[in-house]
Amino acid sequence: MSNESLANLLKEERRFAPPAELAAAANVTAEAYEQAKADRLGFWAEQARRLSWETAPTETLDWSNPPFAKWFADGKLNVAYNCVDRHVENGNGDRVAIHFEGEPGDTRSITYAELQREVSKAANALIELGVETGDRVAIYLPMIPEAVIAMLACARIGAPHSLVFGGFSADALATRIHDADARVVITADGGYRRGKPSALKPAVDEALTRPGTENVRSVLVVRRTGQEDVAWTEGRDVWWHEIVERQSEAHTPEAFDAEHPLFILYTSGTTGKPKGILHTTGGYLTQVSYTHHAVFDLKPETDVFWCTADVGWVTGHSYIVYGPLSNGATEVLYEGTPDTPHQGRWWEIVQKYGVTILYTAPTAIRACMKWGDDIPAKFDLSSLRVLGSVGEPINPEAWVWYRKHIGADRTPVVDTWWQTETGGIMISPLPGVTETKPGSAQVALPGIAATVVDDDANEVPDGSGGYLVLTEPWPSMLRTIWGDDQRYLDTYWSRFENRYFAGDGAKKDEDGDIWLLGRVDDVMLVSGHNISTTEVESALVSHPKVAEAAVVGATDPQTTQAICAFVILRGGVDAEDAGLVEELRAHVGKQLGPIAKPKRILPVAELPKTRSGKIMRRLLRDVAENRTLGDVTTLTDSSVMDLIQAKLPAAG
């Protein structure tokens, strides 16, 4: 980024100290940073002892062939044993692992002892279907307990899973089945979405007609909706309840090498074919277990944890399945959307189960801001004690709203930065240690090394912006891109020598705290200045009439790019108000300086989002530049783009 970078114009003065009571009993104190600094590998070796190893590792990191890392390579363990059996053996078999809440209101609470039986039966069923250690299993399921059980069953027998989000099309599913060369697909007849059953099995049937999927020999089908006749391929399709129910409840887990593949998870990215991110066993489980313990301060005996992500995303893998269950947590699993059947559904669930730790995404927080403060106010949210955010930069105003209206102005908010590739949380405050700043992920966790560099790979001074890089290997790092080592090198390790390039813009403030500024592809160039989309969006969201904003740079003959903003107004604000656009432009000018004033501002009803809730600025850029839209397949709802395009002629 150029020296004229505007990356430090947004000033945020608010500070929130950790609650004294939480700090006094916190799982992790400031000492952890010192300890990790003095002996980083020793620190991770100690965290690895959180797990039960059949053969304890004597080696911590093998970095003899960078950037191909091996962690704890001579250790052996079983992930499912660590997430399930050992809690039963430790006398916690009666503790609830999962409180499942179906969208239609059906519920199921599963204890660790029950989970052990279910996972063992499912593992035995996979073995009966001929699944062997190392075979890949594709999982295409709604948010039901069988998704967690299926993942753990695969881990138990050493068959790497590849989850494909249930909202993806047959095409997307076929591409991923092909790339991973999956042998079995686990799916369901359907799931519930927005009050209606929605079929899944037809997409599997269609995907399996595509070339490259011929090696799939079995399709295991969970009956979830039971609504309609399900097309059936004899000899290939098997009902879950028929094969799993008749299995033995006993299965002896085998220990695998620490570097045995645990899962492949595809990230879409903006261009090219999806990348199959490969994670392995010992290092991954060490980091997700430690970070879940440290960042959320989980007390397994008393806390009720709820991560609202879908298991099909990395957040679900690491903080619904492997982190919480390795720590013996009690957690909520919710099938549906936040506004079905009403906009208070989440808060009703928090009240019902006494949720103490909530982990969600900025997109959901901004939707709740838009729906109004009065909705969460109707529920008893007093059980909450830690709130987390992940997925996008959280605008300071959304952060403050979250703390105030969900956390009663009392709970710490931890903004956690990480990626599918990093496997676990990397940059985040610690709730009992860090004085938090709205909008900043702040500091690398103990044992993690992150910094911000300029174009020439020089570390920037405090108060400047550049690119986020990770400077030391970490236990839950991706090991490669499945089947494509060269692409692993090119994508992450070629931009800066010996440093992992995350693809995100970032700045360090005067205290050295890190602020994430969005994907580098989204940074705008206006009259020679680099301007971060995140900062202009945050300035807009800090206006009391705006709930959510997406900003893009559109080609402009005078200024290279011109800032174009799409805004969602808060409930009750009149979009036709003649003075509104000028009022918002003036507000951004005041917050960030005149150069950051958007040239155009368009109030819209919705923004284009990926299925994991990230704003797709690329499509908005197409609109702002009057181009035909690019690939919309990862969009949640493509009608959103028609509505936005219909608005455009009115802009000026």
Residue list, annotated binding site: 193-196, 315, 391-393, 415-420, 504, 519, 527, 541, 543, 546
Residue 416 as a binder of ligand 6R9 (CB under 6 A): the answer is yes
Using CB under 6 A, which residues numbered 211 to 270 contact ligand 6R9? 267
Neighbour count for residue 546 (Cβ, 10 Å) = 27
Residue 287 as a binder of ligand 6R9 (CB under 6 A): the answer is no
Stretch touching ligand 6R9 by CB under 6 A, among 10-18, 123-131, 499-507, 633-641: 499-507
Residue 504 as a binder of ligand 6R9 (CB under 6 A): the answer is yes
Q: Rounded to the nearest whole angstrom, what is the least distance from the CB of residue 432 to ligand 6R9 in the complex? A: 19
Give the binding-site size for ligand 6R9 (rule: CB under 6 A). 21
Total residues belonging to the chain: 652
Q: Rounded to the nearest whole angstrom, what is the least distance from the CB of residue 288 to ligand 6R9 in the complex? A: 12
Assess whether the previous peptide bond of 67 is cis (omega < 30° from 0).
yes
Token pair for 376: 């969460």
Residue 532 as a binder of ligand 6R9 (CB under 6 A): the answer is no
Q: Does residue 141 contact residue 130 with C-beta atoms inside 8 Å?
A: no
Q: Are strands 357-360 and 386-389 parallel, antiparallel or unpaired?
A: parallel
How many whole angstroms separate alpha carbon 152 and alpha carbon 143?
15
Residue 419 as a binder of ligand 6R9 (CB under 6 A): the answer is yes
Element (H, E) at 621: helix 617-624
Please identify which residue in 45, 131, 216, 516 interacts with ligand 6R9, judged by CB under 6 A: 516
Stretch touching ligand 6R9 by CB under 6 A, among 24-32, 127-135, 336-344, 390-398: 390-398
Residue 538 as a binder of ligand 6R9 (CB under 6 A): the answer is no
- Binding positions for ATP are 391-393, 415-420, 504, 519
Residue 200 as a binder of ligand 6R9 (CB under 6 A): the answer is no
Residue 616 as a binder of ligand 6R9 (CB under 6 A): the answer is no
If we measure between CA atoms, which residue out of 281, 269, 231 comes closest to residue 75?
281
SS3 labels along 179-234: HHCCCEEEEECEEEECCEEEECHHHHHHHCCCCCCCCCCEEEEECCCCCCCCCCCC
Q: Rounded to the nearest whole angstrom, what is the least distance from the CB of residue 264 to ligand 6R9 in the complex? A: 14
Token pair for 106: 């059906």
Q: Rounded to the nearest whole angstrom, what is the least distance from the CB of residue 335 to ligand 6R9 in the complex? A: 21
Residue 391 as a binder of ligand 6R9 (CB under 6 A): the answer is yes
Q: Does residue 136 contact residue 278 with C-beta atoms inside 8 Å?
A: no
How many whole angstroms separate alpha carbon 166 and alpha carbon 204?
10
Residue 390 as a binder of ligand 6R9 (CB under 6 A): the answer is yes
Q: Does residue 303 contact residue 329 with C-beta atoms inside 8 Å?
A: yes
The DSSP-derived string for 16-72 is BPPPHHHHHT-SS-THHHHHHHH-HHHHHHHHHTTS--SB--S--EEEEETTEEEES
- Three-state DSSP state, 533: helix
Neighbour count for residue 194 (Cβ, 10 Å) = 11
Please identify which residue in 237, 303, 415, 509 interacts with ligand 6R9, judged by CB under 6 A: 415
DSSP code, position 649: G
Residue 399 as a binder of ligand 6R9 (CB under 6 A): the answer is no
Stretch touching ligand 6R9 by CB under 6 A, among 55-63, 140-148, 182-190, 415-423: 415-423
Site string for ligand 6R9, 574-613 (x = CB under 6 A): --------------------------------------x-
Residue 476 as a binder of ligand 6R9 (CB under 6 A): the answer is no
CA distance from start to end of the chain: 30
DSSP code, position 427: B
Nearer to ligand 6R9, 437 or 597 (CB): 437
Residue 420 as a binder of ligand 6R9 (CB under 6 A): the answer is yes
Stretch touching ligand 6R9 by CB under 6 A, among 76-84, 309-317, 377-385, 639-647: 309-317
Q: Does residue 439 contact residue 432 with C-beta atoms inside 8 Å?
A: no
Nearer to ligand 6R9, 93 or 269 (CB): 269
Q: Rounded to the nearest whole angstrom, what is the least distance from the CB of residue 576 to ligand 6R9 in the complex? A: 33
Stretch touching ligand 6R9 by CB under 6 A, among 2-10, 345-353, 410-418, 594-602: 410-418
Using CB under 6 A, which residues numbered 65 to 104 contact ligand 6R9? none
Q: Estimate the crossing angle of helix 533-541 against helix 580-592, to 10 degrees.
A: 120
- Binding positions for CoA are 193-196, 315, 527
Token pair for 94: 């009666």
Using CB under 6 A, which residues numbered 265 to 284 contact ligand 6R9? 267
Nearer to ligand 6R9, 117 or 507 (CB): 507
Nearer to ligand 6R9, 542 or 634 (CB): 634
Q: Rounded to the nearest whole angstrom, what is the least distance from the CB of residue 574 to ligand 6R9 in the complex? A: 32
Nearer to ligand 6R9, 306 or 313 (CB): 313
Q: How far is CA 340 from the centre of its chain?
A: 22
Give strand pairing partners of 141.
Answer: none
For residue 590, which amino acid is it?
K
Please identify which residue in 293, 507, 519, 585 interacts with ligand 6R9, judged by CB under 6 A: 519
- Buried b or exposed e, range 367-384, using 16+ CB within 10 angstroms: bbbbbeeebbeebebeeb
Which residues of the shown chain bind ligand 6R9 in the complex (CB under 6 A)?
267, 313-315, 390-393, 415-420, 441, 502-504, 516, 519, 612
